[in-house]
Amino acid sequence: MIILQQMIIFFILMLIGVYSKKKGLINNNNQKQLSGIVVNIGNPAMILSGSISKENIMNPNELLLSLLVAIGIFKIMILLAIFLPKLFGFHHKNYGIVKLMLIFSNIGFMGMPMVSSIYGTEALMYVTIFLIPFNVLVYTYGIYILQKDNKTSKEKYKLNNIFNIGVIACFISIILYFIPICIPYFITETISMLSKITGPLSMMIIGASMLDIEWKELLSDTHLILFSIVKMIILPLIILFILKEMINNEILLGVSLIMLATPVGSMTAMLASQYAEESYPLATKGVSMTTIMSVVTIPFISLITGIE
C-alpha cells in the first residue's frame, strides 16, 4: 500500500528529528527558524512546483469541482464544530480552540508533502485549491472564534493577515497553471529543489517537537483521546464514503483523504499562542496526539475506504 509506505517514511523522518533534537542539532533556539524556512520558503515553493510542471492540466470543470469539494468539507466541519466540543466534554473556555483543531488539519506541513510523494507534483494543484479557503478561513473565522471566546486577548485582528505568503503563492500558482508562460529552467529548477526540503524538514521538526511533550499527561486526557478518535477516524470515514458516491476523480478522492485525515494543524497552536493563551497547552497536545495517531490512522482509513 503506497500510503502505508509513505507514512512509514514520514515516521522514520520524525525519528530522525527526535535523534537530531537529542543530539542538539535541532534545539529550542533554532526550531522556530527551521519552521519558518518550511512555512515561508519550502511550502510556497511546493505550491508553485505544482503549477510549473503542467502535467495533466485540470480543466475548468475539475478546478470548479475541487473548489466545491474543498468548500463543502470546510462547511461541514464548521457546522460540526458548533456542538462537538461540548459533547467531547471540554471546558467551555477551550471551545474555541477545539473548534479550530477540528476544522483545520495539517495540510501544509504534512498534507502537501504526502500528496506530492504519493500522487506526484501534478496533484499539488488540488491541494492549492484546498489551501485557498483554508488560509482565508484560518485568518478570519479562526481568529474571530478565538477572540470571541477569549475576551482578554490583546492581539487585534488584521485583515492583511489573509494576504500571507501561502495565499499569494496559491494565486500565483493558479495564474501560472492556466496561462502559457515559458518559465526559464533555472527558475523552475530552483523552485523544484526548494520544494523538496518541505517533506523531510517538516517531519523532522514535528519529530523534534515530540520531545517537549508530557506523555503521561497527554495519554490520561480522556477528552482529548475522544476528540482524536472522532477527528482522525470517524469523521474522515463518514465524509469520504459520502464523497465516493459523488466523485469519480481518483486523485481528488485521494487528496480529500489526505486533507481530512491529516492531524491537527500546527497553525492552531500558533494562533492560540497569540489570541487564546489559556488554550495553548491544549492545542499543542492536540497537535502531538493526532500527529502520532496519523501514522496508523491514515493507512487504516485508506484501507477501509479503498482510496489509495
Kindly indicate the confidence band of residue 176, based on its pLDDT and cuts at 50, 70 and 90. confident
Q: What's the confidence (pLDDT) of residue 55?
A: 60
Whether residue 25 is predicted with pLDDT greater than 90 in this model: the reply is yes
Please, what is the end-to-end C-alpha distance for the chain in angstroms?
Answer: 8
Whether residue 121 is predicted with pLDDT greater than 90 in this model: the reply is no
Domains of the chain, with CATH numbers?
A: 2-305 (1.20.1530)
Report the C-alpha gap between 196 and 297 in whole angstroms. Answer: 25
Helix boundaries (H) for the chain:
2-22, 31-37, 43-52, 60-80, 84-88, 95-103, 112-119, 124-137, 143-149, 165-178, 185-195, 198-209, 215-219, 222-229, 235-246, 250-261, 266-275, 280-305
Average pLDDT over residues 267-294: 84
Q: pLDDT (tens digit, 9 = 90+) per residue, 101-110? A: 999 998 877 8
Between 64 and 154, name the one with better pLDDT.
Answer: 64
Average pLDDT over residues 71-95: 91
Report the C-alpha gap between 173 and 129 in whole angstroms. Answer: 10
Between 107 and 75, name the one with better pLDDT.
Answer: 75
Lowest mean pLDDT among 138-142, 156-160, 173-177: 156-160
Q: What's the confidence (pLDDT) of residue 150?
A: 64
Share of the chain above pLDDT 70, in %: 93
Q: What's the confidence (pLDDT) of residue 15?
A: 92
Lowest mean pLDDT among 148-157, 235-244, 269-278: 148-157
Between 77 and 171, name the one with better pLDDT.
Answer: 77
Average pLDDT over residues 203-211: 83
Whether residue 160 is predicted with pLDDT greater than 80 in this model: the reply is no
Between 152 and 280, name the one with better pLDDT.
Answer: 280
Lowest mean pLDDT among 11-20, 169-178, 297-306: 169-178
pTM of the model: 0.83
- Radius of gyration over every alpha carbon of the chain, rounded to an integer in angstroms: 19
Q: What's the confidence (pLDDT) of residue 273?
A: 76
Kindly indicate the confidence band of residue 169, based on its pLDDT and cuts at 50, 70 and 90. confident
Q: pLDDT (tens digit, 9 = 90+) per residue, 246-259? A: 998 888 999 999 99
Whether residue 208 is predicted with pLDDT greater than 80 in this model: the reply is yes
Whether residue 100 is predicted with pLDDT greater than 90 in this model: the reply is yes
Whether residue 213 is predicted with pLDDT greater than 90 in this model: the reply is no
Three-state DSSP at 263 gives coil
Q: What's the confidence (pLDDT) of residue 244?
A: 93
Q: What's the confidence (pLDDT) of residue 145?
A: 86
Going from the C-alpha of 116 to that of each of 59, 225, 279, the distances in angstroms are 20, 30, 33
Whether residue 157 is predicted with pLDDT greater than 70 in this model: the reply is no
